[in-house]
Amino acid sequence: KLYGGRDSAHAHLLAARRLDPANMAVQEGVVTLAGLLQANAERTIRENRLEEAGNWLQAAIALDVNHSKIASIRANLEAARIGNVRADRSRVLLLANQRIAQNRLLEPAGDSALHYVDLLRASDPGFEGLADTRILLATRALDESRKLAAAGNLDRADSFLRAAADAGAPDSEVTAITAQITAARIARPAASTSTPSVVPEKDMRRTRFVPP
């Protein structure tokens, strides 16, 4: 039981060193334990168990032995953490591009291109490749908004237009489609009081289909 709690080698050796710091047996025990803790920290870094590696390293730091080795392990741990973060962000960017290719721009809410782009923008707005993906998302969302506006699906056209604007679509194109949607709303005849609140399926026309 190397460390953790009051009944561990770590706790007992620290207590012994406080009582008799010049004792050779205590000094040798501290050095031996420090070596074991450092070795475990290095092993768990290689195995990508970084939280556990951090615990081993903190325990080794408390023993105050072999500062150069501690500095090396700390550097390796931070490099592994940075590498993991970059790999995670690369996966998020890949998912965003996959959803664009699948035309899953806004839906489902937790697994759409917009969702993954927003995640990456929040964590690392300057991440390599994100700007190109945002441009692609904006372009595709603008296209969808135009099609929906032309088909009379104005509320949904608005949703895609907002997503396009947020992703950085050119102001001129956003303004043009906004005007198209506004004009369509103005031209739309007022709803008749006799219009049923539930539209029968036979009266509906499918405008888009996404296979399950």
The pLDDT-based confidence of 208 (bands split at 50, 70, 90) is confident
| 45, 73 Cβ separation under 8 angstroms | yes
What percent of the chain is predicted at pLDDT more than 70? 96
How confident is the prediction for the chain on average, in pLDDT?
90
Burial of 163: CB neighbours in 10 Å, binned 0-12, 13-18, 19+: buried
Q: How far is CA 106 from its chain centroid?
A: 17
Q: What are phi and psi of 88, to 5 degrees?
A: -65, -40
**Cβ-based neighbours of 76, under 8 Å, separated by 6 or more:** 42, 45
Helix 50-63 / helix 9-19 crossing angle, nearest 10 deg:
20
Q: Look up the pTM and report it.
A: 0.62
pLDDT at 115: 94
pLDDT at 195: 57
Give the closest residue to 153 by CA, choosing from 188, 192, 108, 116.
188
pLDDT at 194: 57
Residue 21 one-letter amino acid: P
Give the closest residue to 34 by CA, choosing from 4, 8, 66, 74.
66
Residue scoring higher pLDDT (203 or 22)? 22
Q: Residues 14-73: pLDDT tens digits?
A: 999 999 999 999 999 999 999 999 999 999 999 989 899 999 999 999 998 889 999 999
Rounded CA-CA distance 131/121 in Å is 10
**Cβ-based neighbours of 79, under 8 Å, separated by 6 or more:** none
Q: Residues 135-164: pLDDT tens digits?
A: 999 999 999 999 999 988 999 999 999 999
H helix runs in 47-66, sequence order: 50-63
The mean pLDDT value for 84-97 works out to 92
| 52, 77 Cβ separation under 8 angstroms | no
Q: Residues 173-200: pLDDT tens digits?
A: 999 999 999 988 888 765 445 555 787 8
